[in-house]
Amino acid sequence: MINNKNVLAFIPVRGGSKSIPLKNIKPFCGKPLVCWNIEALEVCPLVDKIIVATDSDDIWNIVESRHYKKVILYRRSAENACDTASTESVMVEYINYAKLSQDNIFMLVQATSPLTEDKHFTEALQMYKNGEFDSILTCVHNYRFFWNRDGTPINYNYMSRPRRQNFSGMLMENGAFYINNVRNILKYGNRLSGSIGIYEMPEYTATEIDEPDDWSVLENLMRRHVLSKRLSNQKQIKLFLCDVDGTLTDGGMYYSETGDELKKFNTRDGMGFQLLREAGIKTGIITSENTNVVESRVKKLKIDYLYQGKRNGGKVAVALEICKELGITLQEVAYIGDDINCYDLLQSVGLAACPADAQPIVLEIPNIQILSRKGGEGCVREFIESIIK
pLDDT tens-place string over residues 174-187: 999 999 999 999 99
pLDDT tens-place string over residues 264-297: 888 899 899 999 999 999 999 998 777 788 888 8
Q: Is the distance from CB of 370 to CB of 358 less than 8 angstroms?
A: yes
- Cβ contacts of 259 within 8 Å, gap of 6 or more: none
Q: What angle do CA 250, 255, 259 make, to 5 degrees?
A: 150
CA torsion angle 348 349 355 357 (round to 10): 10
Q: What is the mean pLDDT of residues 347-365?
A: 89
- Cα Rg of the chain, angstroms: 24
Paired residues of 28 in beta bridges: 31
pLDDT tens-place string over residues 232-268: 555 589 999 999 989 998 876 776 667 677 778 888 9
Q: What is the mean pLDDT of residues 109-131?
A: 95
> How high is the mean pLDDT of the chain?
90
Question: For residue 309, what pLDDT band results from cuts at 50, 70 and 90?
Answer: confident
pLDDT tens-place string over residues 197-240: 999 999 999 999 988 899 989 999 998 888 877 655 555 899 99
What confidence score (pLDDT) does residue 289 get?
78
Residue 104 has pLDDT above 70, yes or no: yes
What confidence score (pLDDT) does residue 331 get?
85
What percentage of the chain exceeds 70 in pLDDT? 95
What confidence score (pLDDT) does residue 284 get?
95
What confidence score (pLDDT) does residue 296 get?
87
Smallest CA-to-CA distance from 92 within 155, 5, 182 is with 182
Q: Is the distance from CB of 298 to CB of 285 less than 8 angstroms?
A: yes
What confidence score (pLDDT) does residue 103 get?
95
pTM for this entry = 0.65
What confidence score (pLDDT) does residue 230 get?
65
Within 13 Å and on the Cβ side, how many CA atoms surround 221? Answer: 18
pLDDT tens-place string over residues 322-331: 999 999 888 8
